[in-house]
Amino acid sequence: MPTTNEPVVHVLWINAGLSCDGDSVSLTAATLPSVEDIALGAIPGLPKVQFHWPLVDYQVGDDFMHWFWQAEAGKLEPFVLVVEGSVANEKIKSEGYWTGFGNDPQTGQPITLMEWLDKLTPKAWAVVAAGTCATYGGIHAMQGNPTGAMGVPDYLGWKWRSKAGLPVVCVPGCPVQPDNMSETLLYLLHQAAGVAPMIPLDDKLRPQWLFGRTVHDGCDRGGYYEEGKFAREYGSPECLVKMGCWGPVVQCNVTKRGWMDGVGGCPNVGGICIACTMPGFPDRFMPFMDEPPGSKLSTEITGHFYGPLIKSLRGITNNTADKEPRWRHKGTRLTTGYEPAWR
């Protein structure tokens, strides 16, 4: 914890959404930069930083929650709010709760994620959605879900802006790639210190420099695709498109960056890309093990035609896959198609 009177940027991390906490666990593996380097001020140009993060904080109970009450009261500035997990729609039921983070001192009842967003986002310098559940709803927001789950931008609004004029900064991934998350936090902290320009985001609110290219662009197996060589079984080194890989249309840098210290990345180590960084995940990419729509035609003609036609076919699929399903929204009605079994 900083011991001087220098200005401090607080990072308030709420992991109360619908999730597995995998994004918190993933971030502990970051190396470029590491969380330790950020927290201990080892990087030139950064302001002092203080994390309030359930995964690693030594404070517990009321001591830990104190910082969140201070932020709500406007006594903790500036602060960056990080949200992990999808936002359950607490308004579509008459009682109970799906999420909770701390207890209301007046009632003793858990405070839902929706309530915390209402309390803290108007005062936050920036809001970061960590992982696909928080960015676009993820697994919990798939068709037929009973919670009406959605991403943070769905709840706050895609045109919402923070005190610093920032939209929700989305860093998707299931879980988030460690360095993608730490680098985004690093950029925002540099921006808060006045040494970086406005963070560049794409139209899905992802950092452009991280999500501007496809999995296929950086894949170790990409050359096999262009040669028309496709794997027919796992363990083969060829392109995995016919095994169900969505890499050619998915915005993600994991094949270039690797998973940790440049090592790994789903297709690089033999796993198919299931498109976990995309707003349409998982609904628009299921069933995962089937050959993606359009890939049969594109792979058949790869050996004969190149250039504009392939690019056009991928563009059509990319445009479809880069949209959220219609049932992720605010309001009092559940429109996911869920049908309770006890009717």
pLDDT digits (tens, 9 = 90+) for 159-175: 999 999 999 999 999 99
What pLDDT, on the 0 to 100 scale, is given for residue 187?
97
Tens digits of residue pLDDT in 19-66:
999 999 999 999 999 999 999 989 988 999 999 999 988 888 989 999
342 — pLDDT class (breaks 50, 70, 90): confident
More confident residue, 276 or 321: 276
The structure's pTM equals 0.88
Q: Is the pLDDT of residue 136 over 60?
A: yes
CA distances from 68 to 5, 120, 121, 172, 176 (A): 20, 8, 12, 24, 24
Portions of the chain given CATH number 4.10.480.10: 215-321
Within 8 A by CB and 6+ apart from 207, the residues are: 169, 171, 180, 183, 184, 187, 199, 200, 201
What is the CATH superfamily name and number for domain 8-211?
NADH:ubiquinone oxidoreductase-like, 20kDa subunit (3.40.50.700)
- 2 falls in which pLDDT band (50, 70, 90)? very low
The fold of 215-321 is Cytochrome-c3 Hydrogenase; Chain A, domain 2 (4.10.480)
Mean pLDDT in residue range 290-301? 64
pLDDT tens across 243-258, in order? 999 999 999 999 999 9
Let me know if 56 is exposed, middle or buried by CB neighbors in 10 A (0-12, 13-18, 19+).
Answer: middle
Q: Quote the radius of gyration of the chain (alpha carbons, Å).
A: 21
Contact 212, 241 (CB under 8 A): no
Q: Where in the chain is the domain with CATH 3.40.50.700?
A: 8-211
Contact status, residue 143 vs residue 117, Cβ threshold 8 Å? no
**Crossing angle (nearest 10°) for helices 113-120 and 61-72:** 50
Please check whether residue 163 is in contact with residue 76, taking contact to mean a CB–CB distance below 8 angstroms. Answer: no
Tell me which of 83 and 289 has the higher pLDDT.
Answer: 83
Residues 159 and 172: their CA atoms lie apart, in Å, by 18
Q: Can you state the angle between helices 308-321 and 295-302, rounded to 10 degrees? A: 160
